[in-house]
Every structure is written in structure tokens, then in C-alpha cells.
Structure 1
Amino acid sequence: MSQFIHAVPNFSEGRDQKIIEAIVSQVRETEGCKLIDFYPDAEFNRTVIEAIGRPEPLKEAMLKMAGKSYELIDMEKQQGAHPRIGAQDTIPLFPLKGVTLEECVALAEEIGREIYKRYEVPVFFSGENARNEDRKNLAFIRKGQYEGLKKVAHLPERAPDIGPAALHPTAGATIVSAATCGLTAVNVILDTTDVSIAKAIAMMVRGPSGGFSTIRSVGFYMEDKDKVAVSMNMFDTQNTPLHRVFRLIEDEARAKGVGVLGTQIVGTLHNDALISCAGHALRLVDFDPKQIIENHMIGL
């Protein structure tokens, strides 16, 4: 059986189209690796890439991408709203088909070691590769961001896992990880321009403020739609299904006199997340994914 891994890396440039294209092309042009899409964000000043590939080609694509990020992005000059510690900020891997989590963990280790060997950029391991519980959380590693971390990277509790107890002078450091599944990014669009309503609902939804433990959420204004949205990163749509969270947002919005216009999926998601929504809405009985005819084309 063919093995496929899903990677969702991000690098710290979301404004300069020439730089973005030069970095993204490293993934696009690697045989055995498919670029699904990429998502530049000018305000955050970062770009997220989605790609799938067989283990070895995907590994090489991630390394070439990182190398180009280190070459073209200077963290001494970079500024943006999104937390970051390096030019190539993260490289997370997720098993997709025919590959185990343990194999993804091993591949992440290989990528981390090769990054330092090729480019002398320090590496932090997170997710299932984390060396301790604190480092499973990206927020712990990123605390203080590039500017703050370079002042404390000499301390044992903040030093990189590979490389010297310091950051690269222009490239910073990179976080490499493996986990069971990636996040699902969702915007629930409200029929209002009052961002305070979206922020209040986001606070109810997100785990740290008493909501769903598997969700991080913010409220923001969508310029292209002239509406506000509750924007969520959902880390476990199996145990916290999308329809359950949507209903909470809808109820809270209604209580504030606001309707819900729709739901925007950002990037990709797994079939199961939508099947769960359909099952809930239609009250499906004895449904099997084999009943979806397109699923039978896989592997032909």
C-alpha cells in the first residue's frame, strides 16, 4: 500500500509575492509531493502551505522549502501579527494513508536533524516529538516570539532541542512535529459588522476561556464580506464535531439578535468531519462510508 503524509508548514512571509512564490515552488516542483494549496496572510505576515506526499519526497520538499525560507526571510526585519520564532516557523506532519503516527514521528526527527545539518538552524520538537509536556504546546515554545526567545534561548528550559542554545541570527528556529491529525480551520460568518459580538462568542467557544478544550477561537472582521466571523482552529473534529460547535455559535448569536450567514472551511478537512454533520442533520441510520460512491475510486 502506498504511504501518504499530510504536511501543513508555515513560513513567516505573507506579503511579498515573489518571496512567497519562490518558497512555495520548492514544494510544487518536488516529484512525489503534491501541493494542495497555500494561504498567504498579509496581516499575519505568514503563509500556510498544505501538501501531501510519500515520505521521502515529502521530506525533501520540506527541507528545500525550509532552506529557501532561511535564504529569503530575515527575522531581524520581519514583523506581523502571527506569533513566530523563525523564517520557516513550523513543519507539522500527519499520517494520511498507509502510514502510522510512529512513522511520522520518526520522519519528523529526520527532518529536524537534517535542517540543522544542512542549514545550521536550531530546531524545537513539538507534538508527539516533544521532549517534555510543555513543548507539546506551540505557545510555550513561541513565548516571547523571535525577539523574546533569542534573549532566553541560552536557558535550559528554553533552549532548542537540536543546535546550540541560541537562535540563528537571521533565520531564528524551526518547530518540527508529528501528530495524529491536523487542525480544521473554520470561519462561522455572522450577519453583523460588530466585531465585539464575534469576540464574545469566540471567548465562549475556545478552550482556555471555558469552551471546548480542542478549539482555539478568535473573532475578527472580514473585509471582503463586510461581516464579522468566529474563526476557529479545531484540533479534534471527531470528539468535538463541527455541527455541535456550530449550533452553540448559532444559539449565542441568536441571543444577541444576530443571524449566522454561513460556514467557511479554510483549507482541507477529512471526509469524516462532513459525514458527521450530515449524519446529525439527516439522522442517518446504519450509514457506512462505503455508501459514498467516490470512495470506491480510491486506489483504482
Structure 2
Amino acid sequence: IGATDVCPFVPVSNVTMDECVLIARTLGKEVGEWLGIPVYLYGAAAILPERHILSDIRKGEYEGLPEKLKDEKWRPDYGPNEFNENVRRTGATVIGAREFLIAYNVNLHTQDIQIANKISGIVRASGVVQINEKGEKVRVPGLLKCVQAMGVYLKEHNITQVSINLLNYKVTPPHVAFEEVKRQAGKFGVRVTGSEVVGLIPKDALLAAGRFYSNELSEKQLIAAAVEKLGLSQLNKFIPEKKVVEYMLGLD
């Protein structure tokens, strides 16, 4: 919705979510007052509950901002409530605090995108819209909390994936998502062949998977077990030193 679309603060190490909320709100106030940019707070930093979800704030995008700013319901948390010349140049920005988002894809041994889409609808938190016996549209929630998902086809590998955003891996960790997708895929007669992490992943998420699949004790062994059981190297070799956020930041 603006030149700086979103600025999230994520607790990684030696910082709490409450501290990230304070930082986000402090920055939001300064950006709004000093730079004259409309600021919306989201995630854990949201003041209004209806602004918790980023996509809800983004609706209408930059093009819809002039009308949004006229709506009292969408008065910015900080900054101007008008589409003036400065806002025309900068747009608005969304600042907040959230858990580490893991982009995580589960590989299906099928080229049928409809199966990938159906599984996605079953597992994602928002679920699917169905028609009830009265002919009314109703939303049926999905099985996994804090999960977004959609089916995608990978032409280069000739497979489909359930492409997942784990919005809070402490609520739904990767291994839970993996096992549920595998369970649902089995109902369609489809095998899960592995998975991949796009970008970085917190060490805790891998250790939790390692403990789920293995009785090993050392950190290195637990991570190795997670990589093996989740099939993280099926498409591209998973190198912990380049994929675990704490290792990349030199925190361990």
C-alpha cells in the first residue's frame, strides 16, 4: 500500500514479543508524526483487533488508499488521515510485530493441481467455502491454525506442492503441517515425497521436528533427523549453516 509496504519486527534471539510490539508502536508513531506517512499497526502490535491480519489492511492496495483514508473505520493508527500530496508520493505503511514466518512447501507425487488445491483447502486455517443444504455459502474452517496454503505446480520437477506459510510455527510447526498433508494426501492415493523451506527457518522449529521423529539428544543429530524425515533435501540440498536463521546470524 506504499513505498514501504510492511515493516515487521520478529523476535529471533534475546528479545520478547512484547519488546517487539513496543518497538513497532514507537516506530509507527515516529513515522506518522515525523514523516507524515499513514501508519497501520498489525499483528501482535495491532491496537484494533480487525487490523491483526496483514492482508485485511492491504485490501485495495495503493490504488484504493484515497477512498480508504476517507473511511473512519480505516483511520490510520498514526499519521495523516488524508490523501495529501506527501501521501500520494509515499502511500501508507504497515508496521507490526509477529512470529517468524516460515515459507514451507510439501511435495506431492502427482501432477494433479486439483488434488494439491483440495489438500490446501483442508489444512489451511481459513478452510474453504461450501454450499450448504439451503444453498447458502458457508466457510468451513481448516484443520491447522496459523496456516495459509495453496496448491502449486512445479514444471521443472513435474510435481505439485502444497505451498504453505506457517504464520506461527509455535502453534503449527513444520512437522505437524507435513504429517497432516501426508495424511490428507493418502486419502487421494498420493504420496508425499519430501518438503522444502523457502528462505530461512528458526532452529527451534527443526529441533521440534527432530524430537518428534528421533530420540537423539545432540542438536546436530536432531537437525539431521528433521532434515531426513521431512525430506528437506529432495529438491535442493538443505544445508543447515545456510538455512537456519540462528546459524546465519552467528547466534550459535
TM class, shorter-chain normalised? 0.7 to 0.9
- Which of 70, 78, 81 is equivalent to 1:162? 78
- Which of 13, 16, 32 is equivalent to 1:116? 32
Contact 1:93–1:178 at 8 Å: present in 2 too? Answer: yes
Name the CA distance, whole Å, in 2 between partners of 1:128 and 1:230: 27
Greater relative contact order structure (CA < 8 Å, 6+ sep): 2
Name the CA distance, whole Å, in 2 between partners of 1:109 and 1:98: 19
When residues 239 and 288 of structure 1 are mapped into structure 2, their CA distance, relative to the original with a 3 A threshold, is farther
Structure 1 counterpart of 2:29, which letter? R
- Which of 96, 102, 108 is equivalent to 1:177? 96
Name the CA distance, whole Å, in 2 between partners of 1:147 and 1:195: 32
Contact 2:7–2:96 at 8 Å: present in 1 too? Answer: yes
2:126 maps to what in 1?
Answer: 208
2:203 maps to what in 1?
Answer: 271
Contact 1:116–1:122 at 8 Å: present in 2 too? Answer: yes
2:52 maps to what in 1?
Answer: 136
Gaps of 5+ in 2: 128-141, 224-240
2:69 maps to what in 1?
Answer: 153
Considering only aligned residues, what root-mean-square deviation do their CA atoms show, in Å?
2.8
When residues 227 and 111 of structure 1 are mapped into structure 2, their CA distance, relative to the original with a 3 A threshold, is same
Shift >3 Å, 4+ stretches: 116-119, 287-295
Superposition deviation, residue 232 in structure 1: 0.8
Name the CA distance, whole Å, in 1 between partners of 2:100 and 2:52: 14
The CA deviation string for residues 65-113 of structure 1, in whole angstroms up to 9 with x for no partner, is xxxxxxxxxxxxxxxxxxxx22221100012222232322222123223
Q: Secondary structure at the residue paired with 2:94? A: strand
When residues 290 and 277 of structure 1 are mapped into structure 2, their CA distance, relative to the original with a 3 A threshold, is closer
Greater mean deviation of Cα atoms: 218-227 or 260-269 = 218-227
The CA deviation string for residues 119-149 of structure 1, in whole angstroms up to 9 with x for no partner, is 4321111122212111112132122333234
Q: TM-score, normalised by structure 1?
A: 0.63
Name the CA distance, whole Å, in 2 between partners of 1:290 and 1:230: 28
Superposition deviation, residue 290 in structure 1: 9.9
Alignment length, in residue pairs? 212
